[in-house]
Amino acid sequence: MNKAAERRKRMGRPAPATIPDELAREHVRFALFNRERHRLLPWAVLLGALSGLLAVGFHLSLDAAESLRNQLFQWSRQFGGAGMCIPMAVSGICVFAAVWLVRRYAPEASGSGIPHLKAVLQGCRPFPWARVLAVKFVGGVIGIGGGMALGREGPTVQMGGAVGQALGDCCAKNAPDRDRLRILVAAGGGAGLSAAFNAPLSGLVFVLEELQGRFASLEFFTAAVACLVADMVCRAFLGDYPVFRLPPVSTPALELLPAFVPLGAACGLLGVVFNRSLLAAQRIGPWTTGWRRGWWPLWGAALGGCGWLAPEVLGGGQSFAGRVIDGHPLAPEAILFYFLIRFALTIGSYATGAAGGIFAPILVLGALVGLEAGQAVAQWAPTLPVEPYVFAVVGMASFFTGSVRAPLTGVVLMIEMTGNYALILPLLTASFTALMIADWLHDLPIYEAIFQRNLAREAGRDGGG
């Protein structure tokens, strides 16, 4: 026995494993991982298919509700100015019903649901998936269909997570399988985002960057399969094309690249303003309990009045963003008006606590900021090859980054939504500029801020505060 072995024996340390032992352990580890991956594969396929079908149903229901809302606006105009009272009354009833459903049956379905999904994945909250799924779907259709300036993407993320929870309850009956349940919940959330935008890579990146905050092989595998299947289902029902259709775009010239830095900085700053305004509105909450519930229908009536005057300011705004990117001309003062009104309506709608997300509204705000910046650059530097709609696309990713603080998700999402890889350099430049500005201002990402606020509120109730 050599001196090193004698020293280890005296100190009670185990002898180092031999190479054959290490190889045996590695072989066992790989075999276990491969077996678990095979077990998860059918669940991931089923999860993606169900999440995709659910997203298709939600999408078509919201399209039908939006069509009915626009028909109501057109019909009411035949009565002149007095006709405004009709959509105001209908929107008031819809908002009251949407908020009441959430508060009465599933408070977990409030808002986008992404902060709740993060809490579930961290083991801080239970997930009553059946109630959340039903209330999220019905309440979302009523509220967003009634004109609330909220998006369908956040709800599809939470509903996808609910499907993952339901499947996880089937395949994870005992404690050692709790990790498998969390993997399915996270993958379901990614599948919901993938289905909402026809963007499977974005759903996968969102799981790794925002929901889980870590990279693990099983989570990556399950989320990738679920996102791919969900996207295939949605494309089969809704069409195999990008969400936004850009004209042919070549890679922007290098001399134009510095122009995207101030755009990113502006979006980073405005993203922080948006986050703090949203949190402040939720803290004030004048429509929360008791007699103050009268604010719910009043807010709905205000939405109906705004929609009667300008229908495009209501709803998630994805079609409006599409028109902005398609090159429909807007004067600078019109861009400012739409930005301010969409900003205010999104903040107020989310603060009611109805089921609806801020994903699409954030993208609309970013498109307007980018369009304004593109028109300004075209005016100040007429010799540069400026296409304002390119700035609008870049503004969407950078505003999303300034608020959510998930730059890779924003960049990949815009590439998939436009089907154009040529914008990768402007997207990265503006998005990481927005990230640095928001971090420099010490602002929490919006979903993390809501998650922490909810935990603090519960801790205050538990402590009698």
Q: What is the pLDDT of residues 377-436, one digit of tens each?
A: 888 877 777 788 889 999 999 999 999 998 989 999 888 888 788 888 999 999 999 999
pLDDT, mean of residues 153-181: 80
**Does the structure show a pLDDT above 90 at 152?**
no
Please tell me the predicted confidence (pLDDT) of residue 287: 41
In terms of pLDDT, which residue wins out, 174 or 233? 233
Q: d(Cα 152, Cα 54) in Å, to the nearest integer?
A: 12
**Does the structure show a pLDDT above 60 at 3?**
no
User: Picking from 133-142, 236-245, 254-263, 368-377, which range would have the lowest pLDDT averaged per residue?
Assistant: 236-245
The model carries a pTM of 0.86
Q: d(Cα 44, Cα 232) in Å, to the nearest integer?
A: 13
Cα 74 to Cα 80, 144, 310, 319, 407: the distances in Å are 11, 19, 12, 18, 40
pLDDT, mean of residues 269-285: 89
Please tell me the predicted confidence (pLDDT) of residue 212: 64
Which contiguous run of DSSP H or E holds residue 118? helix 114-121
Q: d(Cα 71, Cα 74) in Å, to the nearest integer?
A: 5
Q: d(Cα 239, Cα 185) in Å, to the nearest integer?
A: 27
| Contact in structure between 363 and 400 (CB atoms under 8 Å) | yes
Q: d(Cα 112, Cα 150) in Å, to the nearest integer?
A: 9
User: Picking from 18-27, 93-102, 126-135, 304-313, which range would have the lowest pLDDT averaged per residue?
Assistant: 18-27
Please tell me the predicted confidence (pLDDT) of residue 277: 94
The share of the chain scoring above pLDDT 90, in percent, equals 36
| Contact in structure between 196 and 55 (CB atoms under 8 Å) | yes
Please tell me the predicted confidence (pLDDT) of residue 251: 72
Please tell me the predicted confidence (pLDDT) of residue 242: 67
Domain locations in the chain? 32-238, 254-462
Q: Do domains 32-238 and 254-462 have the same CATH topology?
A: yes
- Would you state the CATH architecture of domain 254-462? Orthogonal Bundle (1.10)
| CATH class of the domain whose range is 32-238 | mainly alpha
